[in-house]
Amino acid sequence: MLRTNLGQRIPEGMRDLLPEEIALQENLEREVLALFQQWSYQKVLSPTLEFTACVQPDVEQVDSLYKFFDRDGRILALRPELTTPIARLVSTRMRGANLPLRLCYGADVFRNSSVRYREFRQVGVELIGADQELADAEVIALAVESIACLGLENFQFNLGHMGIFSGLLLEAGVEEGFRQKLEEALARKDMVGVERLVQQSGLPERVQELLLRLPHFHGGEEILDEVLDWSFLPTIREAVESLRRIYRYLNYFGVQKYVSLDLGILRGFSYYTGAVFEGYVAGIGFPVLEGGRYDSLYADFGVPQPATGFAIHLGSMLELFPLPSIPGADILVYGPDPQEIIRESRALRLQGKKVEMALETIDRDAAEALARLKSISEIKLAGEEVSRG
């Protein structure tokens, strides 16, 4: 049946990948996954559809899930990311696995929200069952190397720690309602709102000053010394010293020069629990890589254990790279007799050649013209040439 106008279009946020585009994406993914495997991360794949109960942490929140019903009326969702499905997978089928567990993935994720693509490729890693700072550093160093291995030069990573902000709020003894409003404003990146909230909070002047400064505090290791002067509270000191150790490990990994400390990296308040980081590339207006420590997620699946990881929004970065040209076939096989063409083509393919068959009976001139048109370097006659004229 002739497709309607709608039937010839694709839904908003979806896209077709043409041969060069999918070749590009696969090349990039192959590079990154090879690197992950060199760091001993094993590839896993979770299903495209999950129960919404797995991937939706808070039913009260507005989400960006694509949802469906199964035959029993239960709500399904296309996976919006891989970290939570992998936590489910590890907590159920890999429950007895030797820790720490290093897993990686390359898969499409689906988000029914308005920003650009709603289906895009993600590659990422999870390091599960390790709470050491060396584990954080390993994952951050691997993140930097992943972006570097794509051949990008103008990139940068910013690294922060959720514990410094939460420690500061703990020390100030702010009430729950204020904390919630402040976190909401920070998540919206509404610094004017943050300023207003803090100034109207009635908190001591010193605390106000620190709360206003923290989201913009950015630099090298020296900023950590300054934060230590802010407070004697053990939670803040612990977070600062932990961040310092991670940052020094990054130096041993040879990647520290790409990483700035930035205490304004504050996001996913109910999710991230420690070091958090983002990767940026010149020319793309949003972070292309996001990651951090999430020590409370596994408890939601009944198997509490620490974990850290990151994801690269690979499908959203394709425009940074030139499209590869896809070489034509090695040989065009032509001739008058289909049986001969098939036989010749099979023989050549067994030799490892990339072979295209002429589907119509053509002569040598036509075969040469066709080969030129399709960038095929060689032509071969199968069987006997038909006599000309």
Partner 1 sequence: MDNDFLTIALPKGKLLIDSIQRLSRIGIECQHVNEDSRKLFYDLPHSKVKIIICRATDIPTYVEYGAADLGIVGKDTLLEENKDVIELLDLKFGYCRFVVAMPEGSVPPKHANGEYDLSGLNHQRVATKFPRVAETYFSELGMQVNPIKLHGNIELAPCVGLAEMIVDIVSTGKTLRENHLVEVAPILEATSRLIVNRVAYRMKYERIRDIAGKLRNDMNEEVLDVQSL
Cα 10 to its chain centre, rounded Å, is 24
Q: Give the binding range for partner 1 (CB under 8 A) out of 96-104, 169-177, 188-196, 344-352.
A: 188-196
Closest distance of CB 153 from partner 1, Å: 10
Q: Is 149 in the site for partner 1 (CB under 8 A)?
A: no
Q: Is 316 in the site for partner 1 (CB under 8 A)?
A: no
Cβ nearer to partner 1, comparing 30 with 196: 196
Q: Which residues contact 104 (CB under 8 A, 6 or more apart)?
A: 33, 36, 37, 41, 42, 43, 44, 123, 124, 125, 126
Rule CB under 8 A: say whether 208 interacts with partner 1.
no
The DSSP result for 62-73, as a single string, is -----EEE-TTS
Q: Please, which of residues 266-285 interact with partner 1 by CB under 8 A?
A: 278, 280-285
CB of 280 to partner 1, least distance (A): 5
The answer to whether 55 touches 84, Cβ cutoff 8 Å, is yes
193 touching partner 1, by CB under 8 A: yes
Nearer to partner 1, 145 or 278 (CB): 278
**Considering the rule CB under 8 A, would residue 106 count as an interface residue with partner 1?**
no
Question: Going by DSSP bridges, is the β-strand pair 75-78/119-128 parallel, antiparallel, or unpaired?
Answer: unpaired
Among 20, 190, 209, 385, binds partner 1 (CB under 8 A): 190
Query: Can residue 51 be called a binding residue for partner 1 (CB under 8 A)?
Result: no
**What is the Cα–Cα distance from 288 to 275, expressed in whole angstroms?**
18
- Asked whether position 154 contacts partner 1 by CB under 8 A, the answer is yes
Residue 216 makes contact with partner 1 by CB under 8 A: yes
Out of 158, 166, 242, 256, name the contact with partner 1 by CB under 8 A.
158
What's the closest the beta carbon of residue 41 comes to partner 1, in angstroms?
27
Instruction: Give min distance, CB of 6 to partner 1, in A.
Output: 24
Distance CA 346, CA 214 (A): 67
Would you count residue 62 as binding partner 1 (CB under 8 A)?
Answer: no
* Alpha carbons within 13 A on the beta-carbon side of 160: 23
| Closest of 223, 197, 215, 195 to residue 266, by C-alpha | 215
Phi and psi torsions of 373, nearest 5°: -60, -40
Q: Is the peptide bond before 100 cis (omega within 30 degrees of 0)?
A: yes
- Conformation bin of residue 132: beta by default, left when phi > 0, alpha when psi is -120 to 50: beta
Q: Which residues lie near partner 1 (CB under 8 A)? A: 115, 154, 156, 158, 188-193, 195, 216, 218, 260, 262, 278, 280-287
